Chains A and B, each alone.
Chain A
Amino acid sequence: MSALLQYLISGIATGCAFALVATGFVTIHRVTGVVNFAQGGFAILAGYVTFSALRAGLPHGVSELLAVLLATAAGGVVGVISIGRRGTPLLASLIITIGLGFLFYAVEVAIWGDQPLQFEGVPGVFSLAGLTLQRQYLLIVAGAVVSFAALLLFFNRTYLGKIFTACASNAYAARLAGINVTRVGIAAFAVGGLLGGLAGVLLLPLRSLTFDSDVDLAVNGFAAAIFGGLQRPGAALVGGLVIGVAEALVAGYSHASYQKGVSLVLIVGILVWQASRRAQAD
């Protein structure tokens, strides 16, 4: 019983981080139609920057903030390069994001090397129902809750947020209203960078940091995102939690190496299910 609780809590925490990555995918895809393959890279970049900032003697909080800001800027740059030129075909934009993902690798290996690094999150532990758990889990959940609340307020309550929704809903009408849809798309990439960066600074203290660990985050985040057909942030949140918990259970009760299969099986399963539903609708 206590093992189950342990798996649940760690699963929820990592699931929250997956959900942040997933919401980045969704935010970008809704406005631009592009699946951003560099999405996991924002998290890793933020992890590396936090590592270096802490090394340089900056305090916690400031280091993470700096990292998230840089990830946001990186998101904007990926946006400018992949969709900034008017008339770039969707598929070309997608391929560009793959290429930029590899560029992330090159830059990270050049600066931080290819050996795993580690940086500290919130030190210490807490007890719950007789279990001893890392405090970082609490921070991940709290960070994700605050982020989702802020995102919800932004998209549903602010004029700028509604402009994002309008571009996602009908880009042609948005253009007729004088909105620069490309610029909003680039802003969506920046939001994607922000969310990826948040996932990175929250989750990565629990894992070792290597340049290519973005794949794991991106695959899990993508699996969570397609829960809502890459369109609904709420579904992406649920998807993240489901995947996080499922992976923790699989790792706990069978073998840790099976963990990575969970999201892949889910991706295939969801795609087949969605395709069959579409076939029925036709």
Chain B
Amino acid sequence: MAEALLEVRGLTVRYGAAVALADVSLQVARGEMVALVGPNGAGKTTLLNAISGVIRPAAGRIQLSGRVTQVPEGRQLFADMSVEDNLRIGAWSVRQRDPAAVYELLPRLRELRGRIAGTLSGGEQQMVAVGRALMSTPDLLAIDELSLGLAPLVVDSLAQYLRSLNRERATAILLVEQNVRLALELCPRAYVLEAGQIVLSGSAEELASSAAVQAAYLGGAPEPVPVASGGEDAEA
């Protein structure tokens, strides 16, 4: 594997007496796209928050040799501020606050720059959320639920943007995604998190053809699902 950008070892997170994550280990290499899938309440968001440094783990190590920025679940935009202000606030931790580079990657945002973020459609808001995270020029983009609540066509175009971001800027992506079909199609490697523990990991092909993943996440399809299939038929 290439040089590790993110190395999580033996991570344990507790909320009071409840254990949210137990001894979780995970790696993301520079420029890699990795999916993290699992049912609701498995601890996916907790893992991202620990990696982003907004919650403190009870035990374990998180080694990051670069900058990570999270695109939170539900977009979490500054709803009463303009698109451009949302982007510029994303650049708080860096010197460069000109959104030109982000507009180049997501040209639609340039058209929307003056609009109030809260008035945009769900897909546009997700684009703003991704753009805002990119303003801090992260080496790793941690996305919490890219497709949640979005129409399949919108999800497709967002996935395209992530692909080109990954290809052109070598930004690594850690994608938490309910739509497992989409996740495995977009990311060559994946982890399955259940009840706070990594229960499976491997290449997208391996996971897509694993009986356990098929039964739990891919609707128990009798035949192996072709990895390259669109997956638009999955419910939003």
Task: Verify if B72 is at the interface (C-beta below 8 Å from A).
Answer: yes
Nearest CB of B to A261, in Å: 36
Nearest CB of B to A178, in Å: 4
Q: Mark B67-84, 1 if CB is under 8 A from A, else 0.
A: 001101000111111000
In the complex, chain B residues 26-70 whose Cβ is within 8 Å of any chain A Cβ: 52, 54, 69-70
In the complex, chain B residues 83-136 whose Cβ is within 8 Å of any chain A Cβ: 85, 88-90, 92-93, 97, 132, 136
Q: Which residue of B lies closest to A174 (CB)?
A: B89
Q: Mark A157-196, 1 if CB is under 8 A from B, else 0.
A: 0010011011001101111111100000000000000000
Cβ contact within 8 Å between A177 and B76: no
**Contact partners of B81 in chain A: CB under 8 A:** 162, 165-166, 169
Centre residue among A163, A170, A173 by max chain B CB count within 10 A? A173
Cβ contact within 8 Å between B136 and A172: no
**Contact partners of B92 in chain A: CB under 8 A:** 163, 177-179
**Contact partners of A179 in chain B: CB under 8 A:** 89, 92
Q: Which residue of A lies closest to B80 (CB)?
A: A169
**Contact partners of B93 in chain A: CB under 8 A:** 177-178
**A175: which of B54, B79, B80, B88 is its contact (CB, 8 Å)?**
B54
> With A and B bound together, what is the CA distance between A166 and B79 in angstroms?
9
Cβ contact within 8 Å between B69 and A176: yes
> With A and B bound together, what is the CA distance between A166 and B91 in angstroms?
13
* A173-B72, A176-B70, A177-B89 known; A159 vs B97 contact (CB < 8 Å): yes
* A165-B81, A166-B81 known; A172 vs B88 contact (CB < 8 Å): no
Cβ contact within 8 Å between A170 and B78: yes
Cβ contact within 8 Å between B69 and A166: no
**Contact partners of A162 in chain B: CB under 8 A:** 81, 85, 88-89
**Contact partners of B70 in chain A: CB under 8 A:** 176
**Contact partners of B77 in chain A: CB under 8 A:** 170, 173
Query: How many B residues, CB 8 Å from partner?
Result: 20
Cβ contact within 8 Å between A177 and B97: no
Cβ contact within 8 Å between A172 and B72: yes
Cβ contact within 8 Å between A165 and B78: yes
Nearest CB of A to B106, in Å: 17
**Contact partners of A173 in chain B: CB under 8 A:** 72, 76-78
> With A and B bound together, what is the CA distance between A165 and B82 in angstroms?
12
> With A and B bound together, what is the CA distance between A65 and B74 in angstroms?
46
**A166: which of B54, B72, B89, B136 is its contact (CB, 8 Å)?**
B89
Q: Which residue of A lies closest to B94 (CB)?
A: A178
* A162-B88, A162-B89 known; A169 vs B78 contact (CB < 8 Å): yes
Cβ contact within 8 Å between B90 and A177: yes
Cβ contact within 8 Å between B79 and A169: yes
Centre residue among A159, A174, A178 by max chain B CB count within 10 A? A178
> With A and B bound together, what is the CA distance between A226 and B5 in angstroms?
49
**Contact partners of B78 in chain A: CB under 8 A:** 165-166, 169-170, 173-174
**Contact partners of A163 in chain B: CB under 8 A:** 89, 92
* A165-B78, A170-B79 known; A176 vs B89 contact (CB < 8 Å): no
Nearest CB of B to A160, in Å: 10
> With A and B bound together, what is the CA distance between A163 and B91 in angstroms?
11
> With A and B bound together, what is the CA distance between A1 and B93 in angstroms?
59
Centre residue among A170, A176, A178, A179 by max chain B CB count within 10 A? A176
> With A and B bound together, what is the CA distance between A173 and B72 in angstroms?
8
Cβ contact within 8 Å between B76 and A170: yes
Centre residue among B70, B76, B79, B89 by max chain A CB count within 10 A? B89
* A159-B88, A162-B85 known; A176 vs B79 contact (CB < 8 Å): no
Centre residue among A162, A163, A179 by max chain B CB count within 10 A? A162
**Contact partners of B69 in chain A: CB under 8 A:** 176-177
**Contact partners of B90 in chain A: CB under 8 A:** 177
Cβ contact within 8 Å between B72 and A177: no
> With A and B bound together, what is the CA distance between A176 and B86 in angstroms?
13
**Contact partners of A177 in chain B: CB under 8 A:** 69, 89-90, 92-93, 132, 136
> With A and B bound together, what is the CA distance between A170 and B52 in angstroms?
17
* Pairs A-B, 3 closest by C-beta atoms: A178-B93, A173-B76, A169-B78
The 19 sampled A-B contact pairs (Cβ below 8 Å) are A163-B92, A166-B85, A166-B89, A169-B79, A169-B81, A170-B76, A170-B77, A170-B78, A172-B76, A173-B72, A173-B77, A174-B89, A176-B52, A176-B54, A176-B69, A177-B132, A178-B92, A179-B89, A179-B92
